Chain A
Amino acid sequence: MPEENIVLRVEDLHTYFYTARGTVRALNGVSYVVPKGKVLGIVGESGCGKSQTAMAIMQLVPPPGKIEKGKILFKTARSGQSSEGNGWVDITALGRHSDEMHHIRGNEISMIFQEPMTSLNPLFTIGNQISEAILLHQGVDKAEARQRAIDILARVNMPNPERIVDSYPHQLSGGMRQRAMIAMALSCTPTMLIADEPTTALDVTTEAQILDLMRELQADIGMSIMFITHNLGVVAQMCDSVAVMYLGRIVEHAPVEDLFYNAKHPYTSALLRSIPHLGERKVEKLQVIRGAVPDPYSTVPGCPFHPRCDHYMRGTCEQEMPPETIVGPNHMVRCFLYQ
């Protein structure tokens, strides 16, 4: 992919958590790029590391976690800050509380979380919380910041934005809080938005409206979105390309159509077969993946999926991690079947 079409490049990222019970390798060599103006889906089951990639990008990996190895290269708009040349800056090299990181976080890259109630401060009005980022990053006065907050609330289709701007989070419903979170994330027109399960806590009709809104804003503003979810339906509806994660590694990365119609990794195809498809009721049983995601403290030698895989090849799969294999345009898979 030509460099000018990339906003973020993650290279061989390792995040480890050093706990009393042992080391958890949350990310174990993750590499991907986020293309400009596109939606990249990161999908996987609990504990696969999908949220930790987001935390690493924001420099928010909580202790006892640590970025152990790898690079996160981000194309910053701020001049004179590039450590890697051509406007690229390595986020892993920045301090969590450094000036550079403060400039990037919430301004060039913003994030929305799964549970809006826990990420909004209950003591401040919605308007206050949106204005905070605008005041911090945009250098405008309070009246102007408030007006911008109202504008951005209107932009996310919040009913009655002049009233909502003075409301407290507890006065809003779940869907409205998530709209407020999105408004806050968009307030500084970021280059990249990280959405970590933004609709998982919402009801299906509210979820559909929020996804529709995000699609609309994305097309409008042209920002890149990294969309983290476990829901394959949401992936199909939202994303341009998808990275499938399993136990701290990306096992397949493909354009969304390829992933759903031409999945290569046994884990991806098994996941797709295990979800109920509408209109095929009780025609056949759901396919299952045997076993469960292994305990995070254990290490699986070789391919992390081999103990649950139907195509397990003795003497190969448990020996080493399969390398990245290109099987089509922008289609990468890590599996010995394609060697």
Chain B
Amino acid sequence: MAENQVASNDILLEVKNLKKHFPIIGGLFRRTIGYVKAVDGVSFYIKKGETLGLVGESGCGKTTCGRTVLRLDGYDPTDGEIIFDDPKLGKVHIEKLSKEELKAVRPNMQIIFQDPFSSLDPRMTLERIVSEPLVINKVLSGQALRNRVGELLELVGLRSEYMTRYPHAFSGGQRQRIGIARALALNPQLIICDEPVSALDVSVQAQVINLLEDLQAKFNLTYLFIAHDLSVVEHISDRVAVMYVGFLVEMAATDELYFHPKHPYTEALMAAIPIPDPRNRTKPIKLPGEVASPANPPSGCYFHPRCRYAQEICKQERPLLRDVGNEHWVACHLAEELQLSGLTGHNK
């Protein structure tokens, strides 16, 4: 979708019309009676060395999207293309690979999970946790392996002596560092960060965000940064994509998206950010009704029942994500006509 805009060899990951539908099993004969369309036609691209923020409210499909891109267990895509530029193999279609072929690409695509308490095996020492990817992929062994683990721990700001300890001895922030060390072990190109700081205390959040930024600069990493905290995403992302009920509604450079949104849902999100400034108290945009169910979405644009600008066409036709100029992608019939307001009262 983006070839005309961005040189194809600048793109590390391109996702086209990705779908992930989960069957709903029910009834007397345990038949499939419907589908939860968790991801329903998502398209985006990430350029080499950049951070793409992926935001949206709970249940919008952002986590499923991240996992489907990696084809984690149980997350094979229902439809669509995932094209990854592997440093050795060149452009590969992840969705077409067999489990065996996937193993060759996996080291280059890693993930950091949200909950640092459940994503580390409590019965494994740090050494085993961090070395596991190196052992499975038969990269290193013996003393070289130990040295590499020590190096990785130092890299994320932990002392290498800690490698004999177990995860319970560490705080939430330190555990998240362990998860990052594990993700870095195989020198990946792409790291999917799934809500990496939302379980952490405010004072520890900043440490982990800074670490992710430092590592990105050092190793030219590319991040897909999935989060619901719009302030954190604004801080770390070069571009941001907004998801609503399994579909991308807008994608643009960070400042452009925050200060000049073109989708009414993005406008409502921006107005809802609790700004840490008592002199700038905001009034939210009222969104009537509830978030649509991904098992039974409304006709046309999924956002139309809650949209204050909705017109007849919005009920009939589902708008596609299109570039309205300067790599600003919007899925709204009225994108050109609406004058929406972004964040105000700031330095821009």
Provide the residues of chain A in CB contact with B171, threshold 8 Å.
292-293
Which chain B residues (143-186) contact chain A, with CB distance < 8 Å?
171-174
Q: Which of B57, B173, B235 contacts A276 (CB 8 A)?
A: B235
User: Measured between alpha carbons, how far is A156 from B258 in the docked complex, in Å?
Assistant: 30
CA distance A279 to B258 in the complex (A): 9
Chain B residues contacting A234 (CB-CB under 8 Å) are 274
A326 within 8 A of partner (CB)? no
Known contacts A286-B235, A292-B171; decide if A279 and B347 are in contact (CB<8 Å): yes
Minimum CB distance partner of A259 in chain B: B278
Contact A272 B276 (CB under 8 A): yes
Contact A288 B275 (CB under 8 A): no
Instruction: Give the docked Cα–Cα distance between A211 and B271 (Å).
Output: 13
Contact with A along B181-199 (1 / 0, CB 8 A): 0000000000000000000
Bound form: Cα–Cα A231–B230 in Å:
13
B348 neighbours in A (Cβ, 8 Å)? 279
Is the Cβ of A205 less than 8 Å from the Cβ of B57? yes
| Chain B 307-322 per-residue mask, 1 if CB under 8 angstroms from chain A, else 0 | 0000000000000000
Contacting pair B274 A287 (CB below 8 A) = no
Which residue of A is nearest B235, CB measured?
A276
Alpha-carbon gap, A209 to B278, bound state (A):
18
Interface string of B232-271 (1 = CB under 8 A from A): 1011000000000000000000110011000000001101
B203 lies within 8 A of A232 (CB):
no
**A286 near B269 (CB under 8 angstroms)?**
no
B213 at the interface (CB under 8 A from A): yes
Flag if B210 contacts A203 (CB, 8 Å): no
- CB-based contact A236/B275 at 8 Å: yes
Cα–Cα, bound, A236→B40 (Å):
37
Q: Are A204 and B235 in contact (CB under 8 A)?
A: no
Expressed in whole angstroms, the minimum distance between the Cβ of A196 and any Cβ of chain B is 17
The answer to whether A289 and B206 have CB atoms under 8 Å apart is yes
Q: Mark A304-331, 1 if CB is under 8 A from B, else 0.
A: 0000000000000000000000000000
CB-based contact A271/B202 at 8 Å: yes
Residues of B with C-beta under 8 A to A233: 231, 273-276
CA distance A45 to B201 in the complex (A): 6
Nearest to B214 among chain A residues (CB) is: A285
Q: Complex: how many Å from CA A276 to CA B233? A: 9
User: What 0/1 readout, one digit per residue, does chain A (232-262) give for beta carbons within 8 Å of chain B?
Assistant: 1111110100000000000000001100100
Q: Are B274 and A274 in contact (CB under 8 A)?
A: no
Residue pair B347, A280 in contact (C-beta under 8 Å): yes
B273 touches A288 (CB 8 A): no
In the complex, whether A173 has a CB less than 8 A from a CB of chain B is yes
Residues of chain B contacted by A276 (CB below 8 angstroms): 209, 231-232, 234-235
Task: Report yes or no: B284 in contact with A275, Cβ–Cβ below 8 A.
Answer: no
Q: Is B283 on the interface with A (CB-CB < 8 A)?
A: yes
B290 at the interface (CB under 8 A from A): yes
> Is the CB–CB distance between A285 and B201 below 8 Å?
no
Contact pick for A236, options B204, B230, B278, B291, CB 8 Å: B278
Asked if A135 is at the interface (CB within 8 A of a chain B CB), the reply is no
Which residue of A211, A260, A278 contacts B343 across the interface (Cβ within 8 Å)? Answer: A278
With both beta carbons as reference points, the residue of chain A lying nearest to B238 in the complex is identified as A282
Knowing A173-B290, A212-B283, A288-B210, the reply to whether A207 touches B272 (Cβ < 8 A) is yes
Distance to closest chain A CB from B292 (angstroms) = 12
The reply to whether B343 and A279 contact each other, CB–CB distance below 8 Å, is yes
Is A214 engaged at the interface, CB distance under 8 Å to the other chain?
no
Task: Using CB atoms, name the residue of chain B closest to A213.
Answer: B284
Complex interface: chain A residues within 8 A of B272 (CB): 204-205, 207-209
Whether a CB of chain A sits under 8 angstroms from the CB of B228 is yes
Taking a contact as CB atoms under 8 Å apart, the answer to whether B274 and A286 are in contact is no
**A45 / chain B contacts, CB cutoff of 8 Å:** 201-203
A239 to B276, CA, bound (A): 11
B279 to chain A: which residues have CB within 8 Å? Answer: 257, 260
Contact between chains at A209 and B286 (CB < 8 Å): yes
Nearest-neighbour CB distance to chain B for A244, whole angstroms, equals 11
Which among B174, B206, B346 is the interface contact of A279 at CB below 8 angstroms? Answer: B346
What residue of chain A has the Cβ atom nearest to residue B343's Cβ? A278
Q: Could you jot down 9 A-B contacts, CB within 8 Å?
A: A45-B201, A203-B228, A207-B274, A208-B271, A233-B275, A270-B203, A276-B235, A288-B210, A293-B201
Give me 9 other A-B pairs in contact (C-beta within 8 A), A203-B291, A232-B276, A279-B348 excluded: A45-B203, A206-B57, A208-B274, A236-B280, A279-B258, A289-B203, A292-B172, A292-B203, A293-B171
